[in-house]
Amino acid sequence: MELRTISSNGIRMRIAEQGSGPLVLLLHGFPESWYSWRHQLPALAAAGFHVVAPDQRGYGGSDAPPAIEEYDIFHLVDDAVGVLDALGEKRAVVVGHDWGAPVAWHCALLRPERFRAVAALSVPYVGRAPAPPTQLFRMMAGDRFFYILYFQQPGVAERELESDVRSTMRRFLYAASGDVTEPADFWQKPKEATFLEGLPEPKTLPGWLTGADLDYFTAEFSRTGFRGGLNWYRNFDRNWELTPQLDGAKVTQPALFIAGERDGVLAMVPVDAMRDLVPDLRRLLLIPGCGHWTQQERPAEVNAALLEFLKGLEGSA
């Protein structure tokens, strides 16, 4: 595997790259990096694919523009297209997890000539919301804390999450995983609470998360802070305002969806909506006992599903 920096869409992006063959682009979520795909890069490369996992805009070794509006969905999709351009590739299969999943879905919607298939982990495609998303989030949350609303005010979440990065990453990764043993009511807290308030401290790290893994994430976010990733959340309403043309749009490319049965996202987003909106959904895989960090928690199952999907695409190139 090679780490290098490329130019994409006017910014510098660090990519992890391995293998040769048809291109597969892996897009991470929050708070993660290319490293979240550490188990997929060698497995897909060994199967005959050119696999590339960038640090997305605002993360890791990639640039983090200061303006919030530079993290809207068009910038993020154009970043992905720019990676293809920098590699001299016309088309790719795009795979996204967490925030990377909406980017992957929008790559398929907005640039279908560049992305021939899409696989999403954790976040299903449910189409355009009927109203600005933060309005819906407030209705859903009522008098309870909701993390996306907490993330909206610049500086607030940054101060909390950056006060002890190692503790933040350890508690967050554990709390959203399928290995958490404490009752899930730590997400059901008063509106005035903070993000980390009530998140349990694991007695030991889950088996899928080593000390070295935690060291890597801690070092990255200690250096960059969390502002870049949080700015993605601050574009929910802007993304909605910018995409009225996507009302009723369907993802017509071959698609795969994978999630953990214990992923909290599934309690908020109806998976069944994909049946109509993604007519070529070839498989919907829910992994028992798995939480939110799908490809890290269950790499064997995820790799097998991805390879089955990739090898089933016509012509594979």
Q: Which one from 75, 97, 106, 292 is the annotated catalytic residue?
A: 292
Q: Which of 78, 98, 179, 263 is catalytic?
A: 98
Among this protein's residues, is 247 annotated catalytic?
A: no
* Angle CA 201–155–133, to nearest 5: 85
Q: Tell how many helices (H) and how many strands (E) occur in the chain.
A: 14, 8
**What is the CA angle 172-176-177, rounded to 5?**
115
Is the sign of the CA dihedral 9, 13, 15, 20 positive or negative? positive
- How many Å apart are CA 95 and CA 35, to the nearest integer? 15
CA gap 243, 195 in Å, rounded: 30
Per DSSP, 119 falls in state E
**Structure-token pair, residue 116:** 């021939």
Where do runs of H (alpha helix) occur along 62-197? 73-87, 100-110, 133-141, 147-150, 156-162, 165-175
98 labelled catalytic:
yes
Closest CA to 209 of 183, 181, 175, 174: 174
Q: Which H helix or E strand runs over 45?
A: helix 40-46
**C-alpha–C-alpha distance, residues 59 and 47, integer Å:** 28
Assess contact for 36 and 296: CB atoms under 8 A. Answer: yes
A 10 A CB-CB count for 62 gives 23
Q: How far is CA 239 from the centre of its chain?
A: 16
Active site residues: 98, 292
